[in-house]
């Protein structure tokens, strides 16, 4: 089932999501719906709160060298915790909840992630490049933060002006 994606400035996006405790069929069906929703929206990452469910769950499907997104590369990440972040990198980010806007954001370059999979099993991964950046972007959603909050004062002002204009034109 395709779920509606909440977009900025909807206040629900500011919610701090709560830990997942039940790794049951309901969660599995929800993760499947998140995947379908992300793929039809041309996304590479989606956090549960973006589809109005305030749980600490996110999915990522990073394209391969050919730009293909394969379900084999799907990561379902529950209750994540970042360890040992290192380095800094600038990357132009976009977000399905802030359509049409892309901006450079600074993130850690590499990190270790501890999380649980859909069965509640403890997992660890080492992340670099786009995966590391997307993990940080999605974990920010779990804290109720959007990438636009990391922009400088002037860039944020410019964003608000452009975004408001785009919203008016859409009506």
Q: C-beta of 60: minimal distance to Co ion in Å?
A: 11
Residues found near ligand Y12 in the complex (CB under 6 A): 42-45, 91, 93-96, 99-100, 133-134, 137
Active-site residue 138, yes or no?
Answer: yes
Nearer to ligand Y12, 119 or 158 (CB): 158
Among 76, 93, 103, 138, the one annotated catalytic: 138
List the single partner that 43 binds among ligand Y12, Co ion, none, CB under 5 to 8 Å by kind. ligand Y12
Q: Which two tokens stand for residue 137?
A: 């972007």
Candidate ranges 15-23, 73-81, 87-95, 154-162; the one touching Co ion (CB under 5 A)? 87-95
Angle at alpha carbon of residue 12, lines to 7 and 18, rounded to 5°: 125
List the single partner that 135 binds among ligand Y12, Co ion, none, CB under 5 to 8 Å by kind. none
Q: C-beta of 5: minimal distance to Co ion in Å?
A: 10
Q: C-beta of 88: minimal distance to Co ion in Å?
A: 20
d(CA 71, CA 61): 7
How many chain residues interact with Co ion (CB under 5 A)?
1
Do 13 and 58 meet the contact criterion of CB atoms below 8 Å apart? no
Kindly state whether residue 95 participates in binding Co ion, applying the rule CB under 5 A: yes
Residue with tokens 């629900």: 12
Burial of 25 (0-12, 13-18, 19+ CB in 10 A): exposed
Do 160 and 101 meet the contact criterion of CB atoms below 8 Å apart? no
Nearer to Co ion, 41 or 128 (CB): 41
Q: C-beta of 20: minimal distance to ligand Y12 in Å?
A: 20
DSSP per-residue codes, 69-104? --GGGEEEEEEEEEEEEEEEEEEEE--TTSTT--EE
d(CA 25, CA 23): 7
Nearer to Co ion, 113 or 142 (CB): 142
List the single partner that 85 binds among ligand Y12, Co ion, none, CB under 5 to 8 Å by kind. none
């Amino acid at each position: 089932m395709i779920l509606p994606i909440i977009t900025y400035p909807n206040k629900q996006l500011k919610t701090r999501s709560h830990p997942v405790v039940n790794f049951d069929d309901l969660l599995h069906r929800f993760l499947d719906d998140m995947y379908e929703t992300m793929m039809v929206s041309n996304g590479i990452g989606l956090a549960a709160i973006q589809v109005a469910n305030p749980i600490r769950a996110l999915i990522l499907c990073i394209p391969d060298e050919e730009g293909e997104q394969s379900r084999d590369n799907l990561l379902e990440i529950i209750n994540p915790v970042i360890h040992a972040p290192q380095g800094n990198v600038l990357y132009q980010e976009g977000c399905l909840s802030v359509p049409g806007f892309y901006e450079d954001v600074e993130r850690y370059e590499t990190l270790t992630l501890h999380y649980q999979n859909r069965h509640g099993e403890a997992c660890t991964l080492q992340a670099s490049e786009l995966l590391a950046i997307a993990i940080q972007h999605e974990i920010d959603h779990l804290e109720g933060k959007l990438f636009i909050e990391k922009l400088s004062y002037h860039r944020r002002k410019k964003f608000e002006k452009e975004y408001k204009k785009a919203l008016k034109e859409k009506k």
